[in-house]
A and B are shown apart, each in its own frame.
Chain A
């Protein structure tokens, strides 16, 4: 089955700096890669996703890049703010009705004011 590895497990940055979280996946059939943000005690929220026919996607301060050949994808957060502090999960999915997401282990991001 699919295996998703996520690094780093913890990341601490100064407010205003950029943060990068990287994930690799094993199943070349995966074609949908969402990123979720989970604040303490709350539900995971989809923040950005990318499909395999696209190499990069950007939404304001958040961007995701995908390298299908290398089977890795990354989340980039620029101009970080304290409210960006949370746990971030990447996932890989074969986007069919029967497919399921395989999640990475999560990255705890702390943005210091």
Chain B
């Protein structure tokens, strides 16, 4: 099946710093990538949807200036948490959806656990 690689898997940072998370589709071209946030024992909360070469579409309540999403190529999307604060600590998961080879199915990255001190 299609593989989505997400890095880093775990990051600890100081309050006020920025953190970049990468999401790569390794064996297919991801026309659409999704970024989710997941709290312990809760569902996947969609933060934004990005299509290659265009601006991300953010869900209601998600600050676009705080969570910067770039989808510069068909295999790479990045999420930057700017000026991170302890309340941003969470599990962030990306997912990618491609064309014919991936049958338009969403494949998930392994997630990034962010801890902001």
Which residues, 55 to 71 on A, are CB-close (under 8 Å) to B? none
The A-B contact count (CB < 8 A) is: 48
Which of B12-20, B40-48, B70-78 is the interface stretch?
A: B40-48
Alpha-carbon gap, A108 to B42, bound state (A):
10
Inter-chain contact A44/B42, CB cutoff 8 Å:
no
Interface residues as binary, A95-107 with B (CB distance below 8 Å gives 1, 0 otherwise)? 1011011111110
Chain B residues in the interface with A (C-beta under 8 A): 1, 31-32, 34, 41-44, 46, 49, 51, 93, 95, 104-111
Inter-chain contact B41/A34, CB cutoff 8 Å:
no
Given contacts A34-B105, A34-B106, A43-B109, contact A100 B34 (CB under 8 A): yes
Inter-chain contact A42/B110, CB cutoff 8 Å:
yes
Chain A residues in the interface with B (C-beta under 8 A): 32, 34, 36, 42-46, 49, 87, 89, 95, 97-98, 100-106, 108
Neighbouring A residues of B95 by C-beta, 8 Å: 44
Inter-chain contact B41/A108, CB cutoff 8 Å:
yes
Q: Say how far A53's CB is from chain B's closest CB, in angstroms.
A: 15
Neighbouring B residues of A100 by C-beta, 8 Å: 32, 34, 46, 49
Which of A44, A95, A97, A98 makes the CB contact (< 8 A) with B93? A44
Inter-chain contact B32/A98, CB cutoff 8 Å:
yes
Neighbouring A residues of B41 by C-beta, 8 Å: 87, 108
Neighbouring A residues of B105 by C-beta, 8 Å: 34, 46, 49
Alpha-carbon gap, A102 to B6, bound state (A):
21
